[in-house]
Amino acid sequence: MIKMKDQLQFIHVSFVLLLFILFAATPVVSALMVKMSVEDLTKEADVIVIGDIKDVESRWSQERTPINTYVMLSVENYIKGGEGQETLTIITQGGSKWGFTVWVEDAPDFTKNEKVLVFLKKAGREFSVAGWAQGKYIVENEEVLDRSGEKVSLKDFLRRVEDAIPQQDAATPAAQASPESPGFGVLMALTGLLVVMMRRGKNEN
């Protein structure tokens, strides 16, 4: 007859093996990441923002990755898209929870209180990072740093991004004539002149 102690040891070993299998099955996504230029990221992203990381929290997930990380971003400036929200939630694959860590290669890594420029894709109410880690830049001293540590001035980087924004995203609705606009005044003057000419022609007849 199996003793209670042996049963507990068996359950413990089984649990450890289950965890090992679970985490060993975590997908590696590096082979799926396609190298993207700043122009590619700009076109791919639904929203591009500069902001500060206010909170980073890892949670258990029932999706393909056992742990996901939720990042709270306080928006400082919208560069493309957006609906004016002051705070956005970004979800990344992997993270640490209860002493367990799931590491997903090429997933972006965020740290509380850092300032970032990020290219984001809509994911329901939240956002994911376009281009994986390629879509996250750290902003320091008016410069942006990519994940390799290469620096470029923020001003030059923003100019490059703005030049790559599709025309339909950058276009603004055409202004309509209004009583305050010069076009409206010209239109009214021409209308008045036409009425006077018609009256003169009628009187001459």
Element (H, E) at 48: strand 47-60
Give the whole-angstrom CA distance, residue 91 versus residue 108: 10
Of the pLDDT bands very low, low, confident and very high (cuts 50, 70, 90), residue 201 is low
Phi, psi (deg, nearest 5) at residue 182: -60, -35
The answer to whether the pTM exceeds 0.85 is no
What does the block give as tokens for 121? 């894709």
What does the block give as tokens for 99? 């002493």
pLDDT single digits (tens) 25-43: 444 444 368 899 999 999 9
The overall average pLDDT reported for the chain is: 78
Of the pLDDT bands very low, low, confident and very high (cuts 50, 70, 90), residue 177 is very low
Q: Are 153 and 142 in contact (CB under 8 A)?
A: yes
* Residue 27 pLDDT: 44
Topology classification of domain 30-170: OB fold (Dihydrolipoamide Acetyltransferase, E2P) (2.40.50)
> Alpha helix (H) ranges present in the chain?
4-24, 38-44, 154-164, 167-170, 182-204
* pLDDT at residue 1 is higher than 60: no
